[in-house]
Amino acid sequence: MTDVNVKTFDELDDYAGQFLYAGKGLGVTAWGMNVERLPAHWDEFPHHDHAENGQEEVYVVIDGDATLHADGQTWHLERGTLARVGPKQKRKIVPGEKGVTLLAIGGTPGKAYEPKKA
């Protein structure tokens, strides 16, 4: 039996239509992974860190653009850009004029990933 799972974004379960459970939908168990579809200038993205669980994150811009805010600095993220953010770093992402679609990948260094239970 082939061990392949293929889905479109529209086939993934989501939270509020913006946060698509990509890892869960594909059956990924080695790391966390979501697709985030954020509308233009949406300011509700939480200013957060992952100090409690030690998870680092990588954001990959699939479409659109956004600004990453961290520790008083900003980075413009556009299609094809990757950004890694450490676990203790507070961060906030603000989508640009046309919104942004991000692939967010996370894991805790040195610790086996434990998928959230449904």
Q: Could you read off the pLDDT of 74-92 as tens digits, one per residue? A: 999 999 999 999 999 999 9
Model confidence, pTM: 0.90
Which pLDDT tens digit goes with each residue over 4-25? 999 999 999 999 889 999 999 9
Please give the structure tokens belonging to residue 34: 């979501």
- How far is the C-alpha of 114 from the C-alpha of 70, rounded, in Å? 27
- Give me the amino acid identity at 109: P
